[in-house]
């Protein structure tokens, strides 16, 4: 039997990233100047679209219109004529709405620097100029995040007002985009030589709300930089009120953005480099692994009861104590180890290792390069991939892994899963050495969602559940392709019937905002309060909040507490399925995100954009 061994090489993996799960509603914002107006239109969950309006002619352009209806609603509100689409790059969370928008609003000019941009009518290059009413738009080619990335620099002749630049995924507030299709040299040129040479007062409108996470990394790079400390406090206050942290200015970025400060001694010293370009490459690599980096370092062996006990769960003062890296992790000679790997912005993938044979199984292998680095480091053989569902942020790595690892088995319950070799049936059991896996069918988030329940022969230790986007810490997945009845069955009859000591390894790090919603539902629930306080501290320290246990979930997860009087009172319902339905609706509209942004996206199945763009990512 073949597999992917620790010696297998992994080529440079030039792909894009995006994700989805829960989302919070964010406020729009309008920046008004005498010559132009820019409305920030939050999209998906951390993207921004921008409606650019020429005040003189009332002609408008839209930047990265991933949600077309929202764009047209804003156009109608302002009473302007939409003539132009400015697409920064081809990734679906930026260009995914182009084709639908041009059908809804005919005659639009669609600009971009990449033939992969949907509905493109005019391909631009560096320093191409165009007009939006009386506004001048200069196209700035900034390849690196993608090879065809364009930023748009907007000015008004004879105006004393600040210019604007729409930077997509090249420059963020306090950060920059990943180098998916480029090099440190290219990003240095993009940030320092091109964007950095613009008018210092230029307002920067970037593609995502990543500011708090970026500033946490900036603080890590320059812990004594007062500008970073002040900007982070300001950004947290803005986010507390649900407001955007955009725009910044070019001048400001040079004071706190480590990627704009690669010529500074403090940043170079942190990177251990003296050359600015090498510094750029070093801190980008570090940033790629910064978010929840400790998740990759924590090794959850097969959960000895010395580490996870009923007492440590029911004692509210010890919530989370069993997840400390100081916890003694014990397993027998054939015990399995679970590597918790943070990927993208809030996803988890998992590597389960059978320590006796050194065989390994991956769950939701979204980032092959990262996974294969761990396979090599752990000196194991990757035998199979278990995919919970077909969504891109869970299944995106399958085809690449199948190519790199001949004979790799890819399991899942949905034909839409890439590189699928074994379609599993409900309650089917799989065996990998001493590890047994039961496939638990949980349709609702998607129609083919499968959870994986694992246990080991002869072990007294607690089993593990890989729940994907069905069950989260303190929450559950959206009902994209299912009903409240299905989710109720999933949570109470399928997952809820498992041993209460089962450790839950979910698909996303969304614990803090889930628990904030739980606190809204049950404001007097002490279990919720204590778990939230613990999760906030973990979040501040960039540490994972997984795994939980099923027993814990029944104490603080409102979706598992639909028979509780307090939860029923909150929803105004008494029938459990109706309570669950009401909770999900309320959670979908929950408007109080107060911690760091969790960049995610609700995949747009209702307007059919997801599938056509899978191969483009």
- 588 labelled catalytic: no
Fill in the DSSP letter of residue 524. Answer: T
Half-sphere exposure of 112 (CA within 13 A, CB side): 28
Residues 6+ apart with CB under 8 A from 545: 320, 323, 473, 509, 511, 512, 534, 535, 538, 539
d(CA 430, CA 227): 54
Q: How far is residue 163 CA from its own chain's centroid?
A: 31
Answer yes or no: are the C-beta atoms of 586 and 592 closer than 8 Å.
no
Is residue 449 helix, strand or coil?
coil
Look up residue 348 and give its two tokens: 């988890």
What angle, rounded to 10 degrees, do the helices at 526-540 and 511-521 form?
160
* Catalytic option among 94, 149, 390, 394: 94
Is residue 147 helix, strand or coil?
coil
Which is nearest to 170 in space by CA: 195, 193, 153?
A: 195
d(CA 427, CA 518): 31
- 91 labelled catalytic: yes
Answer yes or no: are the C-beta atoms of 518 and 583 closer than 8 Å.
no
- 169 labelled catalytic: yes
CA distances from 259 to 76, 126, 168, 222, 415 (A): 38, 22, 16, 12, 42
Q: 82 forms bridges with which residues in the sheet?
A: 60
Helix/strand/coil percent split, the chain, to 5: 35, 25, 45
d(CA 128, CA 483): 50
What angle, rounded to 10 degrees, do the helices at 276-288 and 211-221 form?
120
* Catalytic option among 20, 23, 90, 91: 91
Q: Which helix (H) or strand (E) holds 76?
A: helix 68-78
Which is nearest to 61 in space by CA: 139, 170, 127, 114?
A: 139
Cβ atoms within 10 Å of 241's Cβ, excluding its own: 10
- 422 labelled catalytic: no
Answer yes or no: are the C-beta atoms of 556 and 474 closer than 8 Å.
yes
Fill in the DSSP letter of residue 490. Answer: I
Is residue 196 helix, strand or coil?
helix
Tell me the Ramachandran region of residue 8: left when phi exceeds 0, alpha when psi lies from -120 to 50, beta otherwise: beta
d(CA 329, CA 333): 13
Look up residue 210 and give its two tokens: 């990543």
Answer yes or no: are the C-beta atoms of 41 and 35 closer than 8 Å.
no
Look up residue 528 and give its two tokens: 């919720």
How many contiguous H segments (helices) and E segments (strands) does the chain have? Answer: 21, 30
* Catalytic option among 64, 93, 393, 461: 93
d(CA 83, CA 52): 11
Answer yes or no: are the C-beta atoms of 195 and 126 closer than 8 Å.
no
Cβ atoms within 10 Å of 573's Cβ, excluding its own: 17
- 94 labelled catalytic: yes
* Catalytic option among 149, 208, 391, 508: 208
Look up residue 615 and give its two tokens: 């191969």
Cβ atoms within 10 Å of 68's Cβ, excluding its own: 24
Catalytic residues: 89, 91, 93-94, 145, 169, 208
């Amino acid at each position: 039997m073949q597999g992917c061994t620790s010696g297998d090489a992994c080529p440079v993996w030039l792909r894009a990233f995006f994700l989805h799960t829960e989302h919070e509603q964010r406020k729009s914002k309008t920046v008004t100047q005498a010559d132009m107006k820019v409305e920030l239109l939050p999209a998906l969950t951390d993207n921004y679209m921008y409606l650019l309006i020429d005040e003189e002619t009332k002609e408008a352009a839209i930047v990265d219109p991933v949600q077309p209806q929202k764009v047209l609603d804003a156009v109608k509100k302002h009473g302007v004529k939409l003539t132009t689409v400015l697409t920064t790059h081809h990734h679906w969370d930026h260009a995914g709405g182009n084709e639908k928008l041009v059908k809804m609003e005919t005659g639009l000019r669609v600009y971009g620097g990449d033939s992969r941009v949907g509905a493109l009518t005019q391909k631009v290059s560096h320093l191409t100029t165009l007009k939006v009413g009386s506004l001048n738009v200069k196209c700035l080619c900034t390849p690196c995040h993608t090879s065809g990335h364009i930023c748009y620099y907007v000015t008004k002749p004879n105006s004393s007002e600040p210019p604007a630049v729409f930077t997509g995924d090249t420059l963020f507030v306090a950060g920059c985009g990943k180098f998916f299709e480029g090099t440190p040299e290219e990003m240095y040129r993009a940030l320092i030589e091109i964007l950095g040479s613009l008018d210092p007062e230029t307002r920067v409108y970037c593609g995502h709300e990543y500011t708090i996470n970026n500033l946490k990394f900036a603080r890590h790079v320059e812990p004594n930089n007062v500008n970073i400390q002040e900007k982070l406090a300001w950004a947290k206050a803005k986010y507390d009120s649900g407001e955007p942290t955009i725009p910044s200015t070019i001048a400001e970025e040079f004071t706190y953005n480590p990627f704009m400060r690669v010529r500074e001694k403090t940043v170079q010293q942190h990177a251990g480099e003296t050359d600015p370009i090498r510094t750029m490459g070093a801190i980008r690599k570090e940033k790629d692994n910064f978010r929840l980096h400790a998740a990759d370092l924590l090794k959850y062996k097969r959960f000895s009861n010395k580490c996870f006990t009923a007492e440590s769960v029911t004692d509210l003062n010890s919530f989370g104590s069993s997840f400390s890296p100081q916890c003694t992790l014990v397993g027998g000679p054939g015990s399995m180890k679970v590597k918790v790997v943070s990927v993208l912005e809030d996803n988890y993938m998992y590597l389960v290792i059978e320590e006796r044979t050194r065989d390994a199984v991956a769950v939701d292998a979204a980032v092959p390069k990262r996974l294969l680095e761990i396979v090599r480091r752990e000196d194991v053989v990757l035998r199979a991939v278990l995919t919970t569902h077909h969504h891109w942020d869970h299944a995106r790595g399958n085809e690449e892994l199948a190519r790199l690892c001949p004979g790799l088995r890819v399991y899942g319950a949905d034909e839409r899963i890439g590189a699928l070799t074994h379609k599993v049936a409900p309650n089917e059991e799989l065996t990998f050495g001493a590890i047994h896996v039961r496939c638990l069918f949980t349709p609702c988030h998607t129609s083919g969602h499968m959870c994986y329940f694992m246990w080991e022969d002869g072990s007294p230790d607690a089993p593990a559940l890989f729940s994907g986007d069905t069950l989260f810490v303190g929450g559950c997945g959206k009902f994209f392709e299912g009903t409240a009845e299905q989710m109720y069955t999933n949570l109470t009859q399928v997952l809820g019937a498992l041993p209460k000591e089962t450790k839950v390894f979910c698909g996303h790090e969304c614990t803090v905002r889930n628990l904030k919603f739980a606190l809204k539902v049950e404001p007097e629930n002490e279990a919720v309060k204590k778990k939230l306080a613990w999760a906030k501290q973990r979040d501040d320290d960039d540490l994972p909040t997984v795994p939980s246990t099923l027993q814990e979930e029944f104490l603080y997860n409102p979706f598992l507490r639909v028979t509780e009087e307090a939860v029923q009172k909150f929803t105004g319902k008494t029938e459990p399925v109706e309570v669950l339905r009401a909770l999900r609706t309320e959670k979908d509209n929950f408007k109080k995100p107060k911690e760091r942004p969790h960049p995610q996206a609700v995949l747009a199945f209702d307007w059919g954009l997801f599938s056509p763009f899978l191969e483009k990512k």
